[in-house]
């Protein structure tokens, strides 16, 4: 059997607006091993969240559609499954924590009803067992007085409490793969650390695989085994956490790491990556990072490099690493 729980292969996702089709993900490939935490990093607008929605096939009522590629979960291509079959996968085998818990939780349903609904649906528990399991999950994620919390509504709880409830909901059916999309966004630093500790403990206890989507490299260093760096809807680098921080290859990765403040750093201003991520309908020719790159060469403005091996289990999409990638994307 494969050691990978999921393999994303040459994924392309597009959206339509005013009869114009715009490619948002272009030839995205990566895998997650069983029991591994993979970090997916990049600035806002790089395609991280669209990648997670593509894996979950959550484009209903939008113009988004997957036009190319495969998403192979435990040997089965999710893109070939019917919507009914996919519903059996979502929540039970692959769960997701969304960025904003206030908009993810139903504001007119009590917490207990929302937790129990998924448990009954996927595990077939009775109302009594579902409620007991819900209490157990709230306890696991560190929520005090769980019995009382079940009777409350989302607006009665703090942001940190709501995010813990989202984690409890996502974990309640013991998924094989958890997708966490910016799980600590909008939370203060102390609460962020607590939430990450909860996720880390649950992941270790269940030996669960995780896709952690974030722009926070500190979170990546704390939580992940490997990292995939995305830029403009493409994978530009992939490496182990140690290798990525020890010797980043792609100029974009170097810029991201260089922009993180360091203890004892004596500078008037932080380093930053100049410019902005290009919009999907206004991509530059050649390497999409060239307009912001301090190391850009003439070929970078003309041809987009393929992603190629730059060491053991390391990949990078950059012309700095030889001519072997010239031509179409790998």
Instruction: Indicate the range of 52-56, 101-105, 158-162 predicted with least confidence.
Output: 101-105
Tokens of 265: 């750093």
Tokens of 74: 């435990």
pLDDT of residue 265: 61
pLDDT per residue over 278-311, tens digit each? Answer: 999 899 999 999 999 999 999 999 999 999 999 8
Looking at residues 51-58, what average pLDDT do you find?
96
Residues 316, 236: contact at Cβ < 8 Å? yes
What domains does the chain contain, in order, with CATH numbers?
4-93+175-281 (3.40.50.300), 104-173 (no CATH)
Neighbours of 126 (CB within 10 A): 10
Looking at residues 108-127, what average pLDDT do you find?
91
pLDDT at 52 over 90: yes
pLDDT per residue over 140-166, tens digit each? Answer: 888 999 999 999 999 999 888 898 898
Question: Which residue from 312, 265, 316, 320 is spatially nearest to 295, judged by alpha carbons?
Answer: 320
* pLDDT band for position 326 (cuts 50, 70, 90): very low
Q: Write down the residue that tokens 């260089």 correspond to.
A: 258
Listed in sequence order, the residues at least 6 apart from 157 whose beta carbon sits closer than 8 Å to its beta carbon are: 111, 149, 165
pLDDT per residue over 186-212, tens digit each? Answer: 678 888 888 888 888 889 888 999 999
Listed in sequence order, the residues at least 6 apart from 256 whose beta carbon sits closer than 8 Å to its beta carbon are: 41, 42, 43, 217, 229, 248, 273
Distance CA 309, CA 21 (A): 32
């Amino acid at each position: 059997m494969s050691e990978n729980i999921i393999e994303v292969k040459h994924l392309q996702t597009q959206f339509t607006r005013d009869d114009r089709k715009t490619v948002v993900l272009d030839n995205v490939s990566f895998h997650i091993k069983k029991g591994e935490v993979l970090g997916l990093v990049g600035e806002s607008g790089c395609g991280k969240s669209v990648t997670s929605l593509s894996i979950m096939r959550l484009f209903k009522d939008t113009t988004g559609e997957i036009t190319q590629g495969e998403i192979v979960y435990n040997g089965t291509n999710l893109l070939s499954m019917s919507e009914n079959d996919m519903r059996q996968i979502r929540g039970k085998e692959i769960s997701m924590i969304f960025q904003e818990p206030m908009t993810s939780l139903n504001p007119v349903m009590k917490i207990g009803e929302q937790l129990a609904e998924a448990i009954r649906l996927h595990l077939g528990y009775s109302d009594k067992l579902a409620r007991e399991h819900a209490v157990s999950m709230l306890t696991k994620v560190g929520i005090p007085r769980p019995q009382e919390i079940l009777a409350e509504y989302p607006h009665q709880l703090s942001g940190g409490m709501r995010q813990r409830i989202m984690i409890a909901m996502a974990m309640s059916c013991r998924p094989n793969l958890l997708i966490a999309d910016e799980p600590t966004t909008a939370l203060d630093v102390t609460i962020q650390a607590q939430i990450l500790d909860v996720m880390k403990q649950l992941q270790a206890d269940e030996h669960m695989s995780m896709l952690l989507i974030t722009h926070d490299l500190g979170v990546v260093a704390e939580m992940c085994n490997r990292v995939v760096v995305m830029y403009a809807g493409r994978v530009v680098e992939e490496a182990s956490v140690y290798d990525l921080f020890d010797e980043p290859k792609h100029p974009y990765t170097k810029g991201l790491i260089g922009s993180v403040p360091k203890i004892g750093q004596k500078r008037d201003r932080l380093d930053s990556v100049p410019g902005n991520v290009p919009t999907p309908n206004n991509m530059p020719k050649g390497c999409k990072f060239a307009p912001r790159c301090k190391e850009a060469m003439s070929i970078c403005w003309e041809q987009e490099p393929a992603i190629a091996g730059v060491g053991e289990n390391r990949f990078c999409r950059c012309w700095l690493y030889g001519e072997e990638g010239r031509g179409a994307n790998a």
